[in-house]
Amino acid sequence: MTPSQSETSETLQQILLACAHQDRQGFARLYRITSPKLYGVALRILKRADWAEEILQECYLSIWTHAATYTAGRAAPMTWMTSIVRNRCLDALRRPKLEMVLQATEADDVDPLDGIASDGPGPLDELARLSEANALRTCLERLDPRQRQAILLAFYEGLTHTELARQLDQPLGTVKTWVRRGLERLKGCLAQADGRAQ
Amino acid sequence: MKYRDKPALQQKLAAEYVLGTLRGPARARFQAWLREDAALRNLVAEWEEQLAPLTAAVDSVEPPQRVWHALEARIDTLRTHDPQSRSGGWWNSLAFWRNWGLIATGFAAAVLFTVMLKSPEQVIPQSPPTADNRMQPSYVAVLHAMDDEEQLMFMAYAGRNANELWVKRVFLPQTTATQSYELWAMPGKPGEAPRSLGVIPPEQKGTMQMVAIADTALKDVAELAITMEPAGGSPTGLPSGPMIAKGECFNFW
């Protein structure tokens, strides 16, 4: 289930408004509709179900108490909630994930990098699942493939620059440049696409 | 602040914050700027909106039922104990801090001045410790507000052989029933996780029990920090709420 796009957005806005007025049933509905996606996001970044559960619980508590501060028009409801989850996950990650995977796989004598790389579909496959008409997809496809890979890995897996450098087997400086230049080009391309659309 | 007149730097930081590659102290610093800079918040919101379609490709996973049950229980507690929670996170609101800052700044300056006047004789002992003056402070931390280094919030000190930390709230606002302030020892080495020193007592002055004597518990600690957590402290064992204050932890002898 993907609570996408404008139609769901409108409903979610109404539900959030209900939550702002302490409507528990509205909140239960909001949780039913959105929690699978947000749990999926947290799992991808944290790689641990117990942590993802904790974070999910905290985030919904925060959504409940802050629903009144959500302003429609500023961000789509799903974007607002996803950002809360992503930020909590990134804040919670004090320890490099790679280290964690290393510890977890040491006993199995498995290449620790496989833990990340083979965890579900790769970010490049995910790109293919985005809507063809999506400007973001078009712009990502125009990037240098290495820049694109670094950006998608960072976004989906929550990797730091250092983790990216290890994963891609490149010097840290190189990876930092890929990410920075990739984001700059992405910004330029999206601004152009936006200009054309209007 | 030096990022203010550098639009290219602002763009880079906002983009990397949303992407997730801005981490560690740089991330915490950026979050502090975000709290006081609406233009920067707009940049972040733009990037969030632009990268949002990526989330559509993430697989949905049904969370276990226990998450919902635990959530309901926590909301019930919110309700019974805290009728004011409907306004939600007053401590997190910028307006609150701004007003608080206006009232408090003058007083803070005065207190800080007093502390400084007294410090050679009273805060820092002049003579080395003897076995029976364990209360002489050896470790001293003075915590200031995140967005205003001059706004004194909290003080903590301990004798080197004491396993009690003496704490004093200077300007820490009262919490509601569902919130607690938690004190953290921030290690000096990167990569090490903060260690909880426990929930700060509600009284203006009090003591906090440490797991070991100060010489062990605070030895390699660079800073102390305070976060706002659910009542009773962070459920994860790591800071989970916004950082309210921090300051260097000095070891005098």
Structure tokens at A157: 């897996």
Rounded mean pLDDT, B13-37: 90
Contacts of residue B127, Cβ cutoff 8 Å, sequence gap at least 6: none
- DSSP letter (8 states) at residue B180: E
Q: Any chain B CB within 8 A of the CB of A168?
A: no
Question: Strands B205-209 and B179-187, how do they pair?
Answer: unpaired
Whether B138 has a pLDDT exceeding 70, the answer reads yes
Say if the Cβ atoms of B49 and A76 lie within 8 Å: yes
Chain B contact set for A132 (CB, 8 A): none
Interatomic CA distance for residues A26 and A167, integer angstroms: 42
First to last CA, chain A: 31
pLDDT of residue B234: 87
B86/A68 Cβ within 8 A: yes
CB contacts under 8 A, A 123-162 vs B, are 126-127, 129-131, 134, 136-137, 151-152, 154-156, 158-161
Q: Are A172 and A165 in contact (CB under 8 A)?
A: yes
pLDDT (0 to 100) of residue B237: 83
Q: Which of A69-73, A161-165, B76-80, B168-172 has the lowest mean pLDDT?
A: B76-80
Question: Could you tell me the end-to-end alpha-carbon distance of chain B, in angstroms, rounded to an integer?
Answer: 34
Tell me the two tokens of residue B194. Answer: 């903060």
pLDDT tens per residue, range B166-224? 888 888 877 777 888 999 998 877 778 889 999 998 888 888 988 888 888 888 888 99
Mean pLDDT of the A166-185 span: 95
Q: What is the pLDDT of residues A53-106, one digit of tens each?
A: 989 999 999 999 888 888 766 788 999 999 999 999 998 886 554 444 444 444
Residue A11 CA: distances (Å) to CA of A8, A21, A64, A158, A159: 5, 16, 16, 30, 33
pLDDT of residue B112 exceeding 50, the answer is no
The pLDDT of residue A61: 92
Nearest to residue B251, comparing CAs of B226, B222, B225?
B222
Q: Which residues contact B123 (CB under 8 A, 6 or more apart)?
A: B115, B137, B140, B157
pLDDT at A124 over 80: no
d(CA B25, CA B190): 9
Q: Specify the pLDDT at position B139.
A: 83
Give me the sheet containing B139-145, strands edge to edge.
B195-199, B179-187, B221-230, B243-251, B139-145, B148-158, B164-169, B205-209
pLDDT beyond 80 at B97: no
> What average pLDDT does the segment B141-166 reach?
83
DSSP at B22:
-
Statement: residue B106 has pLDDT above 80: no
Q: Residue A160: which of B21, B62, B68 has the nearest Cβ?
A: B21
Model pLDDT, residue A73: 67
Which pLDDT tens digit goes with each residue over B47-74?
999 999 898 889 899 999 999 999 998 8
Please, are residues A44 and B60 in contact by the beta-carbon 8 Å criterion? no
Can you read off the two tokens belonging to residue A69? Answer: 């501060």
B146 or B10: which leads in pLDDT: B10
The CA–CA distances, whole Å, from B227 to B49, B89, B162, B202 equal 29, 13, 24, 14
Cα distances from A52 to residues A39, A117, A126, B24, B178, in angstroms, run 7, 19, 21, 20, 22
How many angstroms separate the CA atoms of B145 and B171, rounded? 9
Query: Residue A31 has what pLDDT?
Result: 95
Asked if B253 contacts B246 with a C-beta cutoff of 8 angstroms, the reply is no
| pLDDT at position A5 | 52
- B228 Cβ contact partners less than 8 Å away, ≥ 6 residues apart: B91, B92, B175, B179, B180, B181, B182, B241, B242, B244
In this prediction, residues B81-102 reach a mean pLDDT of 40
pLDDT tens figures, A31-42: 999 999 999 999
Q: How far apart are CA A66 and CA A11, in angstroms?
A: 18
**DSSP string over chain A:** ----SHHHHHHHHHHHHHHHTT-HHHHHHHHHHHHHHHHHHHHHHH--HHHHHHHHHHHHHHHHHHGGG--TTTS-HHHHHHHHHHHHHHHH--S-HHHHHHHHHHTTT--HHHHHHTSSS-HHHHHHHS-TT-HHHHHHHHS-HHHHHHHHHHHHH---HHHHHHHHT--HHHHHHHHHHHHHHHHHHHHHHHHHH-
Does A98 reach chain B within 8 Å, measured CB to CB? no
How far is the alpha carbon of B159 from chain A, nearest alpha carbon, in Å?
30
- The complex's ipTM? 0.83
Q: What rounded mean pLDDT belongs to chain B? A: 76
User: β-strand B148-158 against B164-169: which pairing, if any?
Assistant: antiparallel
Q: Do A24 and B15 touch (CB under 8 A)?
A: no
Q: d(Cα A97, Cα A164) in Å, to the nearest integer?
A: 11
